[in-house]
Amino acid sequence: MAETLGIWLDGLQVTTVDRDGKGRLSLSYTRAAQDAFDGGTPVLSVSLPVGPARFANQQSMAFLDGLLPEGEPRRAVAAELDVAASDVFALLAALGRDCDGALVIGPLHRPAQQDSNLASAKRLSAEELAGLIANLRNAPLGIGDQVRLSLAGVQEKLLLSRMPDGGWAQPLDGSPSTHILKPSIRGFEKVVENEFFCMRLACHLGLSVAAVETMVVNGAPVLVVERYDRRVNADSATIRVHQEDLCQALGLPPSQKYHEKGGPSLLAVAGVLRDFADSEALESLLRAVTLNVLIGNCDAHGKNFSLLRTDSGGLRLAPLYDLLSTRLYEGLSDHMAMPIDTVQIVDRVTSERIASEASAWGMPQSQAEDVVSDILTRLPEAITAAQQDTPNVPKALASYVKRRGAELRDN
């Protein structure tokens, strides 16, 4: 028996998702979407251009699967919902009312809620907040009877809404969340301080990054990340802003987010930015690549870069997120998720290699060298400022960044 879901964007049903009797998915744009957008305007994804064509299972799955959690969190969610973890259609039917970006997904008869004044949010006490964080392994993202939402990724995290007075609330019945809370990870010492330092370092270097803060819950640090794909207006209503990650933009499933598993290269990411994003996107990507080398972030894969829709309807590289020094932890690979100028081991990357990589994207060599040089010049002051922001930053992390900065300046 065929089944159908609708996908709404800014109140307009833009597509339908059909599942046939063999479980295959297809996606097609509605007539209203075809009338509202021309074929050159990305709507859901640059990999799914607007038009009368119906996208087959492989293309549809690559985008839709990218909206869902991965790994153990996904298995736990599927068990809670009593569906198979591989059943993308069923998971989206249950969780799709609050996804990455501005999409609202659900049965055609269900009203599409596009913004929220938090009237349906459940305010949390300190004890309830601590309980939700402690139970993330069993209830990833905070999913419960009335909490139906989705966020891509593997790490345990909690999606909440911040109230106007600063308190926390659970978004119910598909209302949009505004913040991501990421607790410590067992076996990775000071991972919260690690990510906070790296995010603040990027900010002090002038890169666009998601806003972060830390808080203590039940005696343990928690990283609080403000969602860049949400905007709170003057009436305290939360507005969704559309985004897609670069795997989705390239038509690749989450299982191929790493280059060595058939995932995107930096050249492929740059190609999407050059073709669809604003004129600053390539330079922003180069700054991000340089930063990841400096902090030793080997896990910057295709889903860690995203396109964000601007107010004018254009696209830009989204603020950076999930910045973490993986080199701080023994046992983790020193091979980067995306090689730089064919170099895969992060500690062997030189400033010359970084500039050469950017040159392959079509950036003039002199411009690439100036961008890298600018970051290296500003790095010492940025490290000092990020250390002041992060009193408990691991000493080994600051030392690593300083050493890599000196090495890149020397070559």
Active site residues: 299
d(CA 179, CA 149) in angstroms, rounded, equals 13
d(CA 291, CA 202) in angstroms, rounded, equals 7
DSSP string, 359-374: HHTT--HHHHHHHHHH
Q: Which residues contact 59 (CB under 8 A, 6 or more apart)?
A: 27, 47, 48, 251
d(CA 234, CA 49) in angstroms, rounded, equals 34
d(CA 404, CA 228) in angstroms, rounded, equals 29
CA torsion, ordered 44, 50, 51, 54, to nearest 10 deg? -20
**Measuring CA to CA, which residue among 361, 339, 364, 359 is closest to residue 349?**
339
CA angle 236, 237, 243 (to 5 degrees): 125
**Measuring CA to CA, which residue among 188, 107, 143 is closest to residue 397?**
188
The burial of 126, by beta-carbon neighbours within 10 Å (0-12 exposed, 13-18 middle, 19 or more buried), is given as: exposed
Contacts of 260-265 spanning 24+ positions with Cβ under 8 A: 260/335, 263/301, 263/302, 263/337, 263/338, 264/302, 264/338, 265/338, 265/339
